[in-house]
Amino acid sequence: MVQEAPDHPTRDVGFGVYLHWPFCASKCPYCDFNSHVRHAPVDEARFLAAFRREIAHVAGLTPGRRVSSIFLGGGTPSLMRPETVAGLLEAVSEAWGFAPGIEVTLEANPTSVEATRFRGYRSAGVNRVSLGVQALNDADLKALGRLHSVAEAIEAVETAAAHFERFSFDLIYARPGQTPQAWEKELREAIARAAEHLSLYQLTIEPGTPFFGLAKAGKLVPPDDEVARALYDVTQEVCEAAGLPAYEISNHARTGAQSRHNLLYWRYGEYAGIGPGAHGRLVLPGGRTGTVTERAPEAWLERVEREGHGIREWEPLSLPDQADEFLMMGLRLAEGIDPARYAVLKGSPLDEGRLADLAAEGLIARREGGRIAATPRGAPVLNALVAALAA
C-alpha cells in the first residue's frame, strides 16, 4: 500500500532527486563546489552500489512520492560511463517511480562530450543536458582553468543539439577585464547557438578558492560594481530582445523551456540529495528537514557501506525558517511568490505597509493572481529586499 506523503504548502511543486557525482578531470580556480580530482580510475561499480543503497534508504523515508525531475550534477557527471548513469536512473525509478513527462538532466563538460557517450546517456534515460562552456573566448577559458577551447565548446554544443531536443549551456561573465561591449558580442554568439536555454552567472570570488587568494593579493581584479551592473543590464536586455528572458536571476529560456528541476528548487519543492556532499530538503513526519551527506567521496562511500546512507546532518526547519527560505528562493523567479503560501509557513502575512513602501521604491511589483515579484531594479539587491520583507 502506497503511503500518502505528509502535507506541505508546496506539495504540488513536485519531488526531485539530485545525484552528485563529485569527480572532475581538474579543479577550476573559481570553483567552490564539492568536486575532486582522482588520478587513479574511479571504481564506478562500487560507487554505483553505494548510490543504490542511499537511494533506497531515502526512499524508505519518503514513501508515496513520484519523481518529476532528476539532475545529475557535480563534479563532472559526463565522466561516468553511460552504464553507470543507467544504473543510477534505474535505482531512482525502482525506489520512487517516475511521474509522466519526467525531466532528466545531466551536466557535461565539453572535454568529456563524445557522440557515442551522448547516445549512451540518451538510451539510459537522460533527456536534457547542460554544458559547462563558461566562455567563448580562448584566453578567458584558460584564465578560468578550463581544459577545452572555444572550438571544442562549439563542437560539444552541436553534438548535444544532435542528440537531445533539450539542452542548455553555462557562461560566466564579469570576468577580469571584460567590458560590456565584449560581453554583448559574446552573448549574441551564444544565443545564436542556444536552442532554448542559457545559464549566465556573474563570476563570484569564493573564499577558499585560488581566485580568492589571487584577488586578495591584488593579482586578479574583477570588474567594479558599476561595470558589473552594466554587464548584468546588458545580459537582461540582449536576452530579452532575443526571446530568452530571465525566468530566474541567472537563467534565461524561451517560453516553456525553463529547467523544471531548477524551478522545483526555486518554488520550494521537495528533493532528495544523493551522493557525496549533496544537500536535500525532505518533508518528513516531523516536518521539512534539511539533509547534508558526507562531503569527501571516499568517506561517503565507506559510511554508506557501513550504515546504508551517507547523511551526516539532519536539520529540522522551523516554519519561520521555511518561510524565509521560500521567500529567498521564490523572489529569484520572475514569477515571484504566492504571498498566501508564505503566510501559511510564517504564521502571519507579509506586512502590507512594507510591501507598499517597496513597491513605491520600484523594487517589487504585483503580478497576476496577487503574486509578488522583484522588479528588474529589485533583483540585483535581492538579499536586502528579502531582509526587508522578512523583518
- Give the model's pLDDT for residue 368: 84
Q: What is the DSSP letter of 89?
A: H
pTM of whole model > 0.85?
Answer: yes
- Give the model's pLDDT for residue 4: 62
Kindly report whether the peptide bond that precedes residue 120 is cis, defined as omega within 30 degrees of 0: no
The answer to whether the CB of 74 falls within 8 A of the CB of 98 is no
Alpha-carbon distance 169 to 194, whole Å?
8
Consecutive 10-residue averages of pLDDT for the chain (391 residues):
68 95 91 88 97 98 96 95 98 98 96 86 97 95 92 93 94 95 96 93 93 91 93 96 96 96 96 98 94 98 98 95 95 95 93 94 92 92 91 80
Phi-psi region of 369 (alpha: psi -120 to 50; beta: other; left: phi over 0): left
Q: What separation in angstroms does the CA of 10 have from each of 157, 269, 325, 381?
A: 35, 6, 12, 26
Residue 213: exposure state from Cβ atoms within 10 A (0-12, 13-18, ≥19): middle
The answer to whether the CB of 63 falls within 8 A of the CB of 284 is no
